[in-house]
Every structure is written in structure tokens, then in C-alpha cells.
Structure 1
Amino acid sequence: MRGLLSLWEDPEQGAPLRALIAGVAHDDAFAVLVKEMIEREMVGKLADRIGGADARQRAGAFCAQLAGLIVTRYLLRLEPIASMAPDELVRLCTPPPRLTLR
């Protein structure tokens, strides 16, 4: 999640990403291309890493949550999400580290 936020926060890399997502809403053919890329590069790779019978569904659900965060923060600029520090978003949106008992 930190990597994702870092990428979108970067002025040089974030601007084209915001334009990409905004363009999806206006062009159906472009939306299909972006959907296929996300399915292949994000959902597919994450599902492979997760493994298990429902890996693709879990990966898709996680990517949907990230997409909601991206739209909320970078396109709609909905508060308080838009002005939160990345570390605060990571704390709120990721599970706490697991304790290991010895």
C-alpha cells in the first residue's frame, strides 16, 4: 500500500495515472484496455501470490478497495481521505502486524 500511495503522490508519475483513470470514464474502448491491464497486472499477479481456491476473488476485492481509495483521494479529493498523510492511510487501511508467540 505504501508503494501505491508513493506512486500516486509523486508529481511526475501521479499526474498521468490520474489522467488515465479520468479517461476511463469517457471512453469505453479505453476502459476495456485499462480493465484488461488491471486484471492481468494486478488481480492476476496478486491472485498467483495469494494462492488458494478463492485467490482471484480475494485479489479482485482487494483491488476494488484500492480503486476506491484512489478515486476518493486523487479524483474526488473527498475529505478526510484527501488530506491524510500516507502513513495514516496505511495504518487505517491495512491489518495490524500479527503477533507471533514463541
Structure 2
Amino acid sequence: MTPENAADPPKRGRGRPRRGAAEDGPGTRDRILAQARSEFAARGFEKTSIRGIAKAAGVDPALVHHYFGTKERVFEAALEITFAPAMALPDIVVDGPVEDAGERMTRFFFGVWENRLSREPLLAVIRSAVSNETAAAIFRSIVTRNLLRRITPSLPQPDAEMRAELAVAQLVGTAMLRYIIRLEPVASAPPEELIRRLSPIVQYHLMDGPPSPPSPAPSPPGG
């Protein structure tokens, strides 16, 4: 072995950070995850790379592999945080009278989407999911695991799973028209108007019963 070869540093395995890497420490994983969310939101799943996430977080790419493994696992972890505001949805649906479960679900849904802080990350996720099959598969897994499987046991059987999916599809489809495609008049309609019109349909899917006619819109003050 030549002196030059003897001086060569040992090769690091995939996902193993440099020994004594200064950028590794308390909060490193959270910092990587925060930057990953920003990268996925700005570039989408396909154009985001482990190297780009590492650069934004100010760490060695090996640290990203060390904490998360693959880009898919980083995306999944970022998605779990993005969906955190929606994780209360199953409880909203099942806790309360069955007669207005559809309205509770619809009102909660628009509460999340009308909040800009929770809406922007969700928009980024949906854009990635509709343009990349890997991202779509991860999205489906999280929605199924965290939302649908927690809702369906409390719904009338049979075909509760399909009806829960249709209820979610009704709301997600409206969200795409309103916030992504921005199709008028849905894009600028008052949230209460959309809640009033969608709630009976969501109720029909959830409880397997005919929707009630929408109640009249509230009269404006002084009207």
C-alpha cells in the first residue's frame, strides 16, 4: 500500500454521516424535515432531491439518508406533518349526532383549507400527487391509514369504505376547483355557501341515506 493510499479516508456507507459532522446535533432531523417540506412545496416531488434538501438544511446529504433513508421516506414524513391539521377529521365525524356528521366534516374541511398556513402545504402535496405516481401512492397510503380506516368502522355497513372515499372525493374535488384550478364561481364563493350545498351530499355518502334539501342561506344583516 502506498503512503498516498494509506492516507485516503475510509469510505462511508450510504446513509452514514461523517464521524463528528458538525451539522449533526439536537434538532437536526426537524431542521431537515422543515426544509424538505419547503423543497417539496416549491419544486414538487419529482424535482426535489436529497442533495437539494441537504443543501437547504445546511447538512451533509448523508445525514438526510441517515435520518430518513430514501427521498420517498422524506416525502412521507413531510406529508405526515402537512396532514397534521386534518388528523382530527375522523373524530369530528364520529363524535356527535349522526344526523349532522356531513356538515361537521364539511365545515372542518373548509376550516383547514381556508386557513392559509395549512392550505399552502396541502396544495403542494396535491400538486405532487397528481403529477407523480410515487407521490400519489404515498398520498393514498396516508389518507387511507390516517383518515379512511379511522372513519369507516363507525359508518353504516356495508360498503362503508367506498362511501367514505366518495365523501372525501366530494370535498377534495371541490378544493381542487376552488384553490388550484380556481374555477369561478366556486373559487370566490363564500365558504358558508359551499358548506351549505356540500354538507347534504357528504351526509348522504357517510350515512347511506338520501340527502336533505339545503337550508336557505342566512339573510344578510338588515335584510
TM bracket, shorter-chain basis: 0.7 to 0.9
**CA shift for structure 1 position 41:** 2.0
Aligned match of 2:121: 16
Find runs of 4+ consecutive structure 1 residues off by over 3 angstroms: none
Q: Does 1:71 align with 2:182?
A: no
Equivalent residue number for residue 37 of structure 1: 142
- 1:1-102 equivalences in 2 (<5 Å): 1-95=106-200, 96=212
Structure possessing the higher radius of gyration over alpha carbons: 2
Which consecutive residues of structure 2, in runs of 5 or more, have no partner in the other structure? 1-105, 201-211, 214-223
C-alpha distance in 2 between matches for 1:21 and 1:13: 13
Whether contact under 8 Å (1:42, 1:63) holds in the other structure is no
Structure 1 unaligned residues grouped into runs of 5+: 98-102
Tell me how many residue pairs correspond in the alignment: 97
Q: In percent, how many aligned pairs have the same letter?
A: 32
Task: Indicate the structure with greater helix content.
Answer: 1
Q: Return the TM-score normalized by structure 1.
A: 0.86
TM (normalized to structure 2)? 0.41
Partner Cα distance (1:28, 1:57) in 2 = 22
Residue 131 of structure 2: SS of its match in structure 1?
coil
Partners of 1:88 and 1:77 lie apart in 2 by: 16
Letter in 2 for 1:62: A
